[in-house]
Amino acid sequence: MRDDHRTREQLFVELAQFRQRTAEPEICQGELQRLQEALRDSEEQCRVILDHASEGLVKVDRNLVVSAIDQRRSEMMALRPGDCVGERLADLNHILPPASSGIILRALEQLVADKEVEWHEVTLRRADGSLVDARITARPISVEGRTTDGMLVVCDITGHEHVEQAQLKRAHDLKERIKELNCLYGIANLVETAGLRLAEIIQGTVDLIPAAWQWPEIACARATLEGQEYRTDNFQETAWKLSADIVVHGVAAGTLEVCYLTQASQTDRSPFLKEESDLISAIVQRLGRIIERIRAQEALRESEERYRSFVEHFQGIAFRRNLDFTPKFCLCHGAVEEITGYTEEECAAEMPRWDQVIHPDDLADVYKSTERLIAVPDYPVDRQYRIVRKDGQVRWVRELVQNVYDDSGRPAFVQGALYDITERKRAEERSLRLARQLVSAQEEERRHISRELHDELGQALTFLRIQLGLMQNDLGPQSESFLKRMSEAVVLTDATIERMRVLAQDLRPPGLDAVGLNLTLEGFCRTFARRTGLSVDYTGEELRALPEAANISFYRYLQEALTNVAKHAHASHIQVKLSRDNGEISLSVEDDGRGFCRQAQESSSGLGLLGVRERLESLGARLEIESWPGQGTRLSALMPW
């Protein structure tokens, strides 16, 4: 639009000046020729500039008559060359709507009056009837300081309007997005604020929401979470509502709602933008994550608090150590000093080693169970042994241990817990002493009753049997019915004597004192086989110097075991064996009955076996039960000896 730094207006001014100068008679012929050439050059330059300019030019005289229209202006208005030239602007109603005509005329009048004229935006009508948005600027054409004509510079801004509208829309959309980002940023600040509870964060989030919506002055919000409600002060549920679920760990735990208090739009469409739907989805997703995180933190704090309370009140020792009892990786927590007399630091610093704390008499058994720990992965051990405290006291402890293997499958260390059970052991010992005393008292009472049955009642029944026999012989021929009743009385007396003898033997087998345990058990097996019809094989060896309590306990165990077989096993053959091996006395009873499953073994706590088990445990013995469904059962009473 410029050439040699001259504007189009300047070129028109120079052209008018050249024409005036060539009209003066005093100019010489040579200068006239030079001026004409300059004029032609100037006109050519002006034509080239005007043909390539984006604006159109309209020249009017002081009477507001159009004197010239350039080609660009003609094309803009769809005019033919020469159209409108010579016509007054006021008469060009076909291209100048009244409002635009008035603006242009006022601008030109100001121009003629030598007043400054700013640009104006007007609407023009093309020859085909379509409208064009234009920006018009009026500029004077002066000759020697005097305004002779006016120039209208016309710029088509129809496309510019679309650009400006697009820019305004983008600016509006950007403003809305900034509001949304401010809302999300505010929620993030709430989360990062120390000391805020979950309820305060949710309420703060609800308060931030209205300002992020398109019409914040009529927006309100409410959140519900597991029966609790959080709302803005102006909340009122209306028909213009947008809502979304708050999902926590995959389950809908609440709802977030945004409402407009009045109708925000006159259209039937939803008053909410798509971006606002996206925003409420983003908010509920963030709330869900916030709730999950805060609750996880609360659960962690509760767990830590429970652990801290557990450690503070833990009456045992939690530990981790090497399999060989060395202090490497050794960790001890809890009542270490209360149980051992040593501090945690002393235990961790091999002062002393743990195998030096274990009572010497129990060390071999502990090492034996430790070998199993090394050999079998994830092998749990529940063992009891004695330790020697720093002050020399002997304490009983119970140790629950499990091994831990590394990635290569090698045992790395053991971990577990240790408890002081000294008082429990003392209580158990007192209970065992009382149990032994009770058993001894029972057996003594049974001995007394057995003796009374045998000596007094037995003698009386025997005398009665003799007298009945004598009477039967002395009566001679009598009535047949009387003799029959006499015979039945004799038979009943014989049966009573036999039952009394068996009862006395069951109460206190006299063979224990006379011939010992082995022969007494053998005799009992023969009697049992005769009475029940079952096949019973007995093998045993003589065991001397057994305590009386052990003899009677093994005898009672065999009584109960054989009785159970006869009642429940559906067996035909029983094998009984008394032996001594590897420092233990064993009395086993094995049948070929129907057996039972492991669950039944674990629940086999009938009163008979329960009493037998207690008897054996009072002697330091144990009862083992093995059974296989359809293959029989084996009971073993084992006592160290």
Q: Of 2-6, 356-360, 366-370, 497-501, where does mean pLDDT reach its minimum?
A: 2-6
Does residue 7 carry a pLDDT above 60? Answer: no
| Spatial separation of the C-alpha atoms in residues 283 and 277, rounded to whole Å | 10
Of 298-307, 416-425, 457-466, least confident by mean pLDDT is 457-466
d(CA 301, CA 362): 42
Tell me how far apart the terminal alpha carbons of the chain are, to the nearest angstrom: 125
Contact between 413 and 425 (Cβ < 8 Å): no
| E strand or H helix that includes residue 135 | strand 131-143
Higher pLDDT, 254 or 337: 254
Of the chain, the percentage scoring pLDDT greater than 90 comes to 20
Q: For 462, left (φ over 0), alpha (ψ -120 to 50), or beta? A: alpha
Range 8-158 has CATH code 3.30.450.20: yes
> Are the CB atoms for 59 and 68 separated by under 8 Å?
yes
Q: Is 602's pLDDT higher than 50?
A: no
Q: What is the pLDDT of residue 1?
A: 42
Taking only the tens place, the pLDDT of each residue in 566-576 is 988 889 999 99
User: In the prediction, which pLDDT does 352 show?
Assistant: 78
Number of Cβ within 10 Å of residue 532's Cβ equals 14
- 634 to 561, 562, 588, 628: CA distances (angstroms): 10, 11, 7, 9
Delimiting residues of CATH 3.30.565.10 domain(s) in the chain: 517-641
What are the φ/ψ torsions at residue 369 (nearest 5 degrees)?
-70, -25
Could you tell me the pLDDT band of residue 355, with boundaries at 50, 70 and 90? Answer: confident
Query: Cα–Cα distance between 436 and 619 in angstroms, integer?
Result: 8
Residue 231 above 50 pLDDT?
yes
Lowest-confidence segment of 111-125, 200-214, 379-393 by average pLDDT: 111-125
| Cα–Cα distance for residue pair 5/20, rounded to 1 Å | 23
At 184-197, the pLDDT tens digits run 999 999 988 888 88
- β-pairing, 573-581 vs 535-540, is parallel
Give the Cα-Cα-Cα angle 493, 498, 504 (nearest 5 degrees). Answer: 125
Q: Which of 50-54, 105-109, 126-130, 320-324 has the lowest mean pLDDT?
A: 50-54
What tokens does 107 get?
A: 């601008």
- Delimit the CATH 3.30.450.40 region(s) of the chain: 162-297
Q: What does the pLDDT read at residue 412?
A: 75
Distance of CA 333 to the CA centre of its chain: 29
How far is 372 from 204, CA to CA, in rounded Å?
Answer: 61
d(CA 298, CA 436): 55
Both structure tokens of 462 = 């025997």
The answer on pLDDT for 42 being more than 80 is no
Angle at 135 between CA 133 and CA 138, to 5 degrees: 140
Residue among 333, 309, 311, 308 nearest 320 (CA): 333
Contact of 396 with 425, CB cutoff 8 Å:
yes
Domain 162-297 belongs in CATH node 3.40.50.20: no
**Residue 146 in this model has a pLDDT that exceeds 60:** yes
- What is the token pair recorded at 597? 């499953």
Instruction: Please tell me the predicted confidence (pLDDT) of residue 449.
Output: 64
User: CA triplet 229, 230, 232: central angle to 5 degrees?
Assistant: 135
Q: Which two tokens stand for residue 438?
A: 């009770």
pLDDT for the residue numbered 203:
94
Does residue 497 carry a pLDDT above 90?
Answer: no
Q: pLDDT digits over 396-450, tens only? A: 999 888 887 777 777 777 788 888 999 888 887 777 677 666 666 666 666 656 6
* Six token digits for residue 185: 């940023």
Give the Cα separation of 240 and 270 in Å (integer). Answer: 8
Phi–psi pair at 195, nearest 5 degrees: 90, -5
> What phi and psi values does residue 437 have, to the nearest 5 degrees?
-65, -40
pLDDT of 224 reads: 94
Beta carbons of 625 and 633 less than 8 angstroms apart: yes
For CATH 3.30.450.20, list the domain ranges present in the chain.
8-158, 314-419
Give me the CATH topology for the region 421-508. Helix Hairpins (1.10.287)
Whether pLDDT at 598 is above 90: no
Q: Which fold has domain 517-641?
A: Heat Shock Protein 90 (3.30.565)
Q: Where in the chain is the domain with CATH 1.10.287?
A: 421-508
Residue 155 has pLDDT above 70, yes or no: yes
H or E stretch at 116? none
Nearest to 222 by CA among 189, 192, 186, 259: 259
CB 235 within 8 A of CB 259: yes
Query: For residue 475, which amino acid is it?
Result: L
- Is pLDDT above 50 for 327? no
Q: What is the pLDDT of residues 98-133, one digit of tens each?
A: 777 777 777 766 666 666 566 677 777 777 777 777
Within 10 angstroms of residue 429's Cβ, the number of other Cβ atoms is: 10
Highest mean pLDDT among 390-394, 477-481, 606-610: 390-394
**Could you give the angle at which helices 158-192 and 274-313 cross, rounded to 10 degrees?**
10
pLDDT of residue 307: 73
Catalogue the E-assigned strands of 354-460.
380-388, 394-405, 411-420
What stretches of 565-636 show up as alpha helix (H) in DSSP?
A: 598-602, 607-618
- CATH number 3.30.450.20 given to 314-419: yes
How high is the pLDDT of residue 173? 81
**Mean pLDDT across the stretch 509-519?**
78
Which of 217-231, 284-298, 326-340 is least confident? 326-340
> Buried b vs exposed e over 300-331: b needs ≥16 C-beta within 10 Å?
eeeeeeeeeeeeeeeebbbbebebebebeebe
Mean pLDDT confidence for 491-518: 71
Q: Say which range, 19-23, 401-405, 553-557, has the weakest mean pLDDT.
A: 19-23
What integer pLDDT is reported at residue 5 of this predicted model? 45
pLDDT above 90 (res 235): yes
10 Å CB burial of residue 45 (0-12, 13-18, 19+) is middle
Question: What is the chain's mean pLDDT, rounded?
Answer: 78
Query: Which helix (H) or strand (E) covers residue 122, if one does?
Result: strand 120-125
Sheet holding 251-260, edge to edge: 228-231, 219-225, 251-260, 241-248
Report whether 597 contacts 562 (CB < 8 A): no
More confident residue, 557 or 311: 557
Specify the DSSP class assigned to residue 401: E
Percent of the chain, pLDDT > 70?
71
Beta-bridged to residue 616, according to DSSP, are none
